[in-house]
Amino acid sequence: MYRYDEFDAQIVHDRVKQFRGQVARRLSGELKEDEFKPLRLQNGVYLQLHAYMLRVAIPYGQLSPRQLRRLAHVAREYDRGYGHFTTRQNIQFNWVALKDIPDVLETLAEVEMHAIQTSGNCIRNVTSDHFAGATADEVMDPRPWCEIIRQWSTFHPEFAYLPRKFKIAVTAAEHDRAAIRVHDIGLHIRRRGEAVGFEVHVGGGQGRTPHIAAKVHDFVPEAEILDYLEAIMRVYNRFGRRDNKYKARIKILVSETGAEEFKRLVDEEFAAQRPDEKVELPRAEIDRIHAYFAPPPLSGRPARSEVFERAKAADAAFASWAEVNLYPHKQSGHACVTVSLKPVGGIAGDATDTQMETVADLAERFGHGDIRVTHAQNLVMPHVALDDMYEVYRALEAAGLASANESLITDMIVCPGLDYCNLANARSIPVGQAIQREFASVEDQRDIGQLHLNISGCINACGHHHVGHIGVLGVDRKGEEYYQITFGGRADEKAAIGEIAGPALSAEDVPPALKRVVNRYRELRTDPSERFIDVYARTGLEPFKEALYAADQER
């Protein structure tokens, strides 16, 4: 993974010092809250329902064991013993005192971490495929380009006060695990012979007006990608709407301008750049950054591991976990391990300090020191030998981290909701827990197969309900929590926005209603390999809608 050189270290150090000064000016009363707010937001500090929340950047979701241990330390010393991994591959601490945040940032800077631009109307943390560098279906490792984009976007003087926040995602794999089509900019790295370039998608997003991004370029050569991004950003900064924050995201500019005209504006701006306006990115610099992401030295192992097979035969729970939570590695004899943060009845994405330390130790001993955060709020150890898998599993199990549910119905994306969030209209976590309990049986979940269920506590859609195969959106009805259900959303290469089924349901009606929907799916599928989302594509909304509201007809 990337390591800071003296420039990176200095910039992060300067930022800690700067923020320490800003906090001091706030605490002395020199800065009023409305002046301080954008400053704290640009450093990931929110004021939530109960306390300040600090969002720490995990660039493209990559962590070292040392970094994860430091996050555990922060959880223990400055928070209440846990942290919350987010859909942007970051981590949030829910109970940090403002006066302590400069110290937290200083301790994070020691392990090359920061909270820069994790909020605010600027370019946010760049996200990517959590199997990057390990999966066979990518044309190259996308992380070096994520790092280059991270550096370019950090403290960009022109793009710190954009009309609204701005999110970039990068993938290099055919199967899109980074949800690039629902980002402000989604980049898909392509190869044409020896040449590397970027397919560029712009104007995707969720929130109250979800959009699938428009493709604006098939292949921007790698040497020009930062200049092309500058052109997009400048068009957005100049022409994005600022009269209404709900219409300020680039998706609205693209849809109101029209994708064709938007592309013309970007191309015109790009063509007008003078040579000295270009971002000089020396070949040696591209190579330097790529070198940090060299594949780990995985020793050649046979594709079949006898140790692994024996353990599976002896321990059915392990066999089940291995079948669900392992993803094929490009190197034989290895696999990518999903460490589920979705135990039934738990809080999606939460990990305690000791759980973080367990994963850090395992990654160090068995995982080449590589840990990823997924946009589905789980952790991944991307390079584990099958021979070591049972030992890894036993340790995860002991730490409460061995739920066998990756991409199954209980592996939900859930936003913090009204239990924490100042924006929420309804609670998300309790309704998610109730749904999990309805589908708690592992056999039942495996029989249902892949089913992405996403829950948001308000229309801002942090829980990605629009792109859940089943989406649940909390709404407030005269002080009562209700939940609107959508079907058919997906975040992958066939990205789609879910369709709203009909009137919202009360919290207690949601689990049985979804049980009926899932049972209807089981009746409709031609065989168990036909997933919920495949059946939906074949049948459309009607049968699921009917099942969802079937209880009303019985009454």
Partner 1 sequence: MPLIRNGEEAVNTWLHVETGEAGETPNGITVPLEAFLEKRDTLLARNTPLGVRLEPDDDPCRLAGDLDRLSLIEIAFPRYTDGRGYSTAQLLRRRLGYRGELRAVGHVLRDQLLYMHRSGFDAFETERAQIACVQDALGEFSSFYQPAADGHRHVFARRHT
Partner 2 sequence: MTSVRPKLKPDVPKAITAWHTASGEVVWMTPKGDWTSNPDALGVFTGEVAEARLADARAAEGEVTDPYFMEVSETGEIRGRETLRETIRAQGPTTHPEFAKGEAL
Footprint on residues 526-545 left by partner 1 (CB under 8 A): none
- Size of the residue set binding partner 1 (CB under 8 A): 42
User: In 10 A of CB 244, how many CB atoms?
Assistant: 9
User: In the set 223, 423, 475, 537, which binds partner 2 (CB under 8 A)?
Assistant: 423
Q: Given the complex with partner 1, which of 73 and 242 has the nearer CB atom? A: 242
Footprint on residues 84-143 left by partner 1 (CB under 8 A): 121
Q: Given the complex with partner 1, which of 59 and 432 has the nearer CB atom? A: 59
* Contact partner, 316, from partner 1, partner 2, none, Cβ < 5-8 Å per class: none
Asked if 160 is part of the footprint of partner 1 (rule: CB under 8 A), the reply reads yes
* Contact partner, 14, from partner 2, partner 1, none, Cβ < 5-8 Å per class: partner 1
User: In the set 109, 202, 335, 424, which binds partner 2 (CB under 8 A)?
Assistant: 424
Residues contacting 294, CB < 8 A, separation 6+: none
DSSP states of 247-291: G-SHHHHHHHH-HHHHHHHHHHHHHH--GGGS----HHHHHHHHH
* Contact partner, 542, from partner 1, partner 2, none, Cβ < 5-8 Å per class: none
* Contact partner, 155, from partner 2, partner 1, none, Cβ < 5-8 Å per class: partner 1
- What interhelical angle do 6-27 and 33-41 show, nearest 10? 160
Q: Which stretch binds partner 2 (CB under 8 A): 21-29, 65-73, 128-136, 534-542?
A: 21-29
- What interhelical angle do 6-27 and 101-109 show, nearest 10? 170
- Between CA 546 and CA 521 the distance in angstroms is 12
Q: Measured from the CB of residue 263, what is the shortest distance to partner 1 in angstroms? A: 19
- Could you give the angle at the alpha carbon of 411 between the alpha carbons of 410 and 416, nearest 5°? 100
Strand intervals (E) in 343-495: 350-352, 371-373, 379-385, 413-414, 453-456, 470-477, 480-487
Q: Given the complex with partner 1, which of 242 and 301 has the nearer CB atom? A: 242
Footprint on residues 434-473 left by partner 2 (CB under 8 A): 460
What separation in angstroms does the CA of 85 have from each of 232, 375, 416, 465, 550? Answer: 30, 9, 11, 17, 36
Our separate counts of H helices and E strands in the chain read 19, 21
Q: Given the complex with partner 2, which of 147 and 438 has the nearer CB atom? A: 438
Asked if 344 is part of the footprint of partner 2 (rule: CB under 8 A), the reply reads no
Q: Given the complex with partner 2, which of 319 and 423 has the nearer CB atom? A: 423
Q: Measured from the CB of residue 320, what is the shortest distance to partner 2 in angstroms? A: 27
- Could you give the angle at the alpha carbon of 168 between the alpha carbons of 164 and 171, nearest 5°? 165
Helical residues (DSSP H) of 273-386, grouped into ranges: 283-291, 306-314, 316-325, 353-366
Asked if 430 is part of the footprint of partner 2 (rule: CB under 8 A), the reply reads yes
- Size of the residue set binding partner 2 (CB under 8 A): 34
Asked if 98 is part of the footprint of partner 2 (rule: CB under 8 A), the reply reads yes
What the block records as the tokens of 442 is 């592992």
What separation in angstroms does the CA of 165 have from each of 44, 53, 207, 266, 490? Answer: 12, 18, 12, 19, 22
- Between CA 130 and CA 336 the distance in angstroms is 10
DSSP states of 144-182: HHHHHHHHHHTT-TTSSS-SS-B-EEEE-BSS-SS-GGG
Q: Measured from the CB of residue 11, what is the shortest distance to partner 1 in angstroms? A: 6
Asked if 313 is part of the footprint of partner 2 (rule: CB under 8 A), the reply reads no
* Contact partner, 49, from partner 2, partner 1, none, Cβ < 5-8 Å per class: partner 2
Q: Given the complex with partner 1, which of 150 and 520 has the nearer CB atom? A: 150
Asked if 5 is part of the footprint of partner 1 (rule: CB under 8 A), the reply reads yes
Judge contact between 89 and 58, C-beta under 8 A: yes
Q: Measured from the CB of residue 416, what is the shortest distance to partner 2 in angstroms? A: 8
For the chain, the farthest-separated pair of C-alpha atoms sits apart, in whole angstroms, at 72
Q: Measured from the CB of residue 82, what is the shortest distance to partner 2 in angstroms? A: 9
Half-sphere exposure of 523 (CA within 13 A, CB side): 9
What separation in angstroms does the CA of 394 have from each of 323, 357, 381? Answer: 15, 15, 15
Asked if 292 is part of the footprint of partner 1 (rule: CB under 8 A), the reply reads no
User: In the set 50, 192, 304, 437, which binds partner 2 (CB under 8 A)?
Assistant: 50
Half-sphere exposure of 40 (CA within 13 A, CB side): 24
Q: Given the complex with partner 2, which of 64 and 484 has the nearer CB atom? A: 484
Q: Given the complex with partner 1, which of 270 and 366 has the nearer CB atom? A: 270
* Contact partner, 317, from partner 1, partner 2, none, Cβ < 5-8 Å per class: none
22: three-class secondary structure by DSSP? helix
Judge contact between 197 and 220, C-beta under 8 A: yes
Residues making contact with partner 1 (CB under 8 A)? 5, 7-8, 10-11, 14-15, 17-18, 22, 35, 38-39, 121, 151-152, 154-163, 234, 237-238, 242, 272-274, 276-277, 279-282, 284-285, 288
Residues making contact with partner 2 (CB under 8 A)? 26-29, 32-33, 47, 49-52, 80, 95-99, 245, 347, 418-420, 422-425, 427, 429-430, 433, 460, 478-479, 481
